[in-house]
Amino acid sequence: MEAIENVVIVGAGIAGLATSLGLHRLGIRSLVLESSASLRVSGFALATWKNAWRALDAVGIGDSLRQQHEQLDGLVATSTVSGQPGAQLSFKGKGTHGDHEVRCVKRKLMLEALEKELPIGTIRYSSKVVSVEDSGCFKLVHLVDGTTIKTKVLIGCDGVNSLVGKFLGFKKPAYTGRSAMRGSADFKANHGLGSNFLQFFGNGFRSGFIPCDDTTIYWFFTWTPSDQDNKELKDNPAKMKQFVLSNLGNVPDQVRSFVEITELDCFISSPLRYRHPWEVLWGNISKGNACVAGDALHPMTPDIGQGGCAALEDGVVLARCLAEALNKKVSAETKDREKEEYKRIEMGLKKYAKERRWRSFELISTSYVVGVVQQSQGKIMNFLRDAIMVKFLAKLLLRKADFDCGKLHIS
């Protein structure tokens, strides 16, 4: 059976739903294909910086999420080697694009807020894409159940192992040699942390603790695993918990308790992968009537907290560029009409790619370098990091967030 759609988006993650909602706000229907049976909410939470809030406001869900998450006052970075605070950074200042705003948003609530605003039937669950092929001015999307969907536009928001990205010529993301554990600690009463983002640097380890609201703390722990670590910790949350507690270093008892009370089903561990920055500069972000966004475009390490934020930016820019192309009246007839529309779609996606190429390059590169410095080992590197680099790196977080993806308005 072959169905026909105007726009097919593969993946109902942050980028896919933001793009779909942006298109919906501009009067364009899309179909989102999600391989899972429901929304995927792995990762628990994400740091949401000013650039992300501008994108969330553009698609119309910023205020509802603000009501559920507290605004953070600042960042306190501490060395677990020396025990001395390395930097304190206020999030209350003003940047080029207005006041800074930082919150830690629960991933589940963000995805549900995006989904809630979409027309019923926009997301088709349990729809795994197995292959894509060209068919004249269309793409044919083949699903695991034998269904084939014919579409004028194909958008890959299908994560780091993107099938659409592979179709466009992108290689698999590279492994950094580092891994991250993440968890979410839920309290019955106030957690007592206040409104600061606490970050700790050790000898080859880095950890962070961020309040989402009065009763929830999101935390992360990054390190360079050995083969033995990978073997022992894989799919074993009890050992993950023990490993983190054993390697946190000299942190306050209150901070240690956040890991201790985390339920075992709230631990996840994953290798940190990224796309080589030069691949983004030279690769096909778009080709014809297909493109990629989110982690399918710019998988990056989490060291500046911009992965999800950049995915929201992608959604707004892509929706704007694509709607501008699709909303123009086509003058030609039949076959010529299809070719003219294809050409406009191609130009719209090229415009999107041009806008996102250097931004993606910059964020991937910065995240990688920051991660290497923050997770450094050895006395000399630790001294340079703690004495000099930490203050610079803290300010860098705000600079990379001081970005405006623009509104959905079409000129």
- Mean pLDDT of successive 10-residue stretches along the chain, which has 411 residues: 85 98 97 95 89 98 97 89 73 90 97 97 97 96 96 97 97 95 94 92 89 96 90 90 94 94 94 97 97 98 96 98 88 75 96 98 94 68 58 81 91 64
pLDDT of 334 reads 59
Question: Would the CA dihedral through 259, 68, 77, 14 be positive or negative?
Answer: positive
Rounded (10°) CA dihedral 290, 293, 296, 300: 150
Looking at residue 2, what is its pLDDT? 65
Question: Is the distance from CB of 193 to CB of 361 less than 8 angstroms?
Answer: no
pLDDT given at position 363: 98
Model pLDDT, residue 40: 85
pLDDT of res. 80: 81
Give 226's contacts (C-beta < 8 A, 6+ positions apart): none
The torsion angles phi and psi of 103, rounded to 5 degrees, stand at -140, 160
162 touches 170 (CB < 8 A): yes
Q: How many CB atoms lie within 10 A of CB 73?
A: 15
pLDDT at residue number 17: 98
pTM of the predicted model as reported, rounded to 2 decimal places: 0.94
Of 309, 307, 317, residue with least CA distance to 285: 317
